[in-house]
Amino acid sequence: MEMTSLTTTQIDYAALVQRQRDYFATGATLPAEARLGHLQRLRQAVVQWETPILAALKSDLGKPEIEAYSSEIAMVLSEIDYAIRHLRKWMRPRACAGPWMSWPSRGSVTRQPFGVALILSPWNYPVQLLLSPLVGAIAAGNCAVVKPSEVAPATATVMRELIQSTFGREHVACVLGDKSVAEALLGERYDTIFYTGSTGVGRKVMAAAARHLTPVTLELGGKCPCIVTADARLDVAARRIIWGKMINAGQTCVAPDFVWVERSVCDAFLQACRKAIRAFYGADPRQSPDFGRIVNRAHFDRITAYLSQGVRCVGGECDPEQLYIAPTVLTDVALTAKVMQEEIFGPVLPVLSFDGIDQAFSQLKEMPSPLAIYLFSSDRALARRVMDELPAGGVCVNDVMMQMLGKQLPFGGVGDSGMGRYHGRDSFECFTYAKTLLRCSTALDTALRYPPLRIGLGTFRRFAGVLLRR
């Protein structure tokens, strides 16, 4: 599973983008029937390419077959199906009232595609996080240039072949290459950019977009905390936290990054974590068919460096040849340790304890805003306080990562964890802008709007309060 180089022919990126811009200008991507047809073809392609997709995910990340299907292919198919069912409704203009001063008039708002979109995807979910944004771009009526991550080379190659067999390059083009290719792509002008990845690279993407005032959607990372209080169902909390942390060997942007547990139940929670890990992966997770591997040696070395920054309560075994790191729980971790300052992105879970909830809140407020906060508690008032006081892209109570699955729940970050939302209708809106239309009549043309005005300010102020009310 070591990263191999992706070769790609030299491409004239300016010509590629211009070709898509010319194609978009023909209007071929705009009719509802065309969009639905493109989505249906994408769906058929994903189904037809299931076997090579699963093989590529196994090669790149050691993903177990069922985990790969559920977290990658099924998620994409669900996104496509939802868009197909609702697209006509999303495209329908929304009627709205015009101002009194233009009466009689009628207003409407229509969502219009931006034009040419650039989609840059990461390596950890290299199918889902490439194709799910593409679903939104196609449903919205855009053309798109997509670049898979070179860190998952086998999957990137399959994605290119799938896209080339499904779309013309003037509509959707897939470009392979390393970060120099991404930088070359960012040198061109697009109408919108969608990036999923690290916060550091997200800043570079935003800086590149600023040169052309291009709108961006940034789906970034962050340290997603869990809070577990004494009144929580500890067995359920431990199972769900361990499940969410260890999927894809911890290489998930919304995975629980660390846990704050009320001190009185910390030992019981740790014991429940040990039990959950053994139940999920057996006595030797290295032999489990349900546990993945780290993507490459560089990430393996980065993660294993965290293992010495606390007491290994569970796990800690490593195998550099297999890029295997056991499901690991750390205790006695200092807040200043790197494992508490950097996004872990691996199967290592620090567990800290607190005496009062205010202590946990004060520490969390000092940290950058995460993609998600997870609370395990039966206290509804505490859940409301988490929502009101702790900035995050989303909050999930008594579970982890489920907030990603609801098509009516917008997904995205805030601050260091990103900007913009997608999934479901929000994917359609992510790749469109609101365009207003106001139809005015010429039957009435009051003199009150034109100079010279023969009334005083006091009288006009009263009129203005009525005429500008809506």
Spell out the residues 6+ positions from residue 428 whose beta carbon is closer than 8 angstroms to its own.
Answer: 83, 87, 90, 111, 136, 139, 140
Output the 3-class SS for 290-319.
CCCCCCCHHHHHHHHHHHHHCEEEECCCEE
The single residue of 67, 219, 262, 429 carrying the catalytic annotation is: 219
Residues recorded for the chain: 470
Q: DSSP for 442-469, please give it.
A: SS---GGGSSSP-S-HHHHHHHHHHHT-
Amino acid at 44: Q
143 in catalytic set = no
CA dist list (Å): 433 to 138, 191, 197, 226, 430: 14, 11, 24, 35, 8
Nearest to 60 by CA among 1, 101, 126: 1
* CB 151 within 8 Å of CB 37: no
Cα–Cα distance, 139 to 127 (Å, whole number): 18
Half-sphere exposure of 146 (CA within 13 A, CB side): 35
3-class DSSP assignment, residue 207: helix
Half-sphere exposure of 264 (CA within 13 A, CB side): 7
* CB 350 within 8 Å of CB 259: yes
430 in catalytic set = no
Amino acid at 411: F
Residue with tokens 């083009």: 173
* CB 329 within 8 Å of CB 293: no
CA dist list (Å): 17 to 23, 146, 187, 195: 10, 11, 11, 17
The single residue of 174, 226, 253, 313 carrying the catalytic annotation is: 253
Task: Give the residues across from 397 on adjacent strands.
Answer: 375
Q: Which run of H or of E encompasses 361?
A: helix 357-365
Tell me the catalytic residues. Answer: 219, 253
